[in-house]
Structure 1
């Protein structure tokens, strides 16, 4: 799957926000940590201030609900709810990075830009690939989420570390089961 620009930034930001700010291991952000979570996804984080923190955490909870859905119809309905909360006014721009699409005009508040890009990213993910490319990590005890943007679309874990732990545990279980007296 070739995902670039706003698509990957929106999907990646959604995953990062959910994993950083929701669930058992989620933590309420301060401005610096919130900027750190979102900067890798091409957002102009200098606009992020204290007033954005609570709305971002609230939005992250709504994004988490998407990743927990396994039924396509329910996922479509949830994404449509997210999309209804944003005002998308697309336009083509070139500000030194080549011609590309912006989902909102200049001057839209930071939180609204995050909502627009994450909602649009998830909408594109579902439209192109259904719900099989996103979810909650399959590792026992892990509640982090993932979105698979790889070519083969077989990701089921939030990270290589969780995948490796699960594979090692499965290997050890098979060895115990095949051992004499096992």
Structure 2
């Protein structure tokens, strides 16, 4: 499924910002963040350019504002993964207030009137404008679809987040790579259990299936 196009862009941007600018594990490998100001400025500028298609060199203040935004957005995804709708909603409401979300119609660069989620004033600040877009998009998704379309990757040694746009809401991993890793891990676990019990892997797989009896 798809949300409307502008909401799609906002929620996907929120997930990407979390995945690029928060520490943890990424597809089985540690994902530390740089400590040096130059490294943090470069990473934040790279994230903005990759996510929004625009960007330039950043000041230390702008970079730290992006890292702070990513950390706060992660809280929303963690709340969704824990099925904590109250925490998700209150966090998004605070983000909407703190980042001065102001949905409005705008026209620029020869385009027709279209919706923006943030002030078009240049002095609004880069992170504030991005935060307003992400927060408003998340508010729309949570308000319309609840928490079931957001989550944290369930693969081992990965805590990257995702937005589920599958038709039946069946996504549980941040990427095809993590889905494949998890399938391999599950197969190896079945093979190990089969070896201990003297069964074939197929027989062990059948034994692992729910019996269907209440």
**TM-score of the pair, normalised by structure 1:** 0.86
Q: Which runs of 5+ in 1 are unaligned?
A: none
Distance in structure 2 (CA, Å) of the matches to 1:5 and 1:64:
22
What is the RMSD of the two structures over their aligned residues, measured on CA atoms?
2.3
Distance in structure 1 (CA, Å) of the matches to 2:45 and 2:167:
29
Distance in structure 1 (CA, Å) of the matches to 2:8 and 2:112:
17
2:159 maps to 1:149: no
2:98 maps to 1:88: no
8 A contact 1:47–1:110 mirrored in 2: no
SS in 1 for 2:170: coil
Residues 52-109 of structure 1: CA deviation (Å, up to 9, x unaligned): 1111111211111111112222211221121121222222223334431012223221
Residues 25-67 of structure 1: CA deviation (Å, up to 9, x unaligned): 1424544432322224336423854331111111211111111
Residues 129-172 of structure 1: CA deviation (Å, up to 9, x unaligned): 21111121101121211121233321111111111100111122
SS in 2 for 1:156: coil
SS in 2 for 1:132: coil
2:205 maps to 1:181: no
1:49/1:9 Cα in 2 relative to 1: closer, same or farther (>3 Å)? farther
Q: Which runs of 5+ in 2 are unaligned?
A: 25-30, 200-214
The residue aligned with 1:77 is 90
The residue aligned with 2:17 is 17
8 A contact 2:150–2:161 mirrored in 1: yes
The structure with the larger Rg is 2
SS in 2 for 1:163: helix
The residue aligned with 2:208 is none
Distance in structure 2 (CA, Å) of the matches to 1:49 and 1:139:
35
1:130/1:152 Cα in 2 relative to 1: closer, same or farther (>3 Å)? same
8 A contact 1:134–1:148 mirrored in 2: yes
**TM-score of the pair, normalised by structure 2:** 0.74
Distance in structure 2 (CA, Å) of the matches to 1:44 and 1:123:
24
Q: CA deviation at 1:6?
A: 3.4
8 A contact 1:17–1:60 mirrored in 2: yes
Distance in structure 2 (CA, Å) of the matches to 1:128 and 1:160:
27
Match runs of 1:44-63 below 5 Å:
44-46=54-56, 48-63=58-73
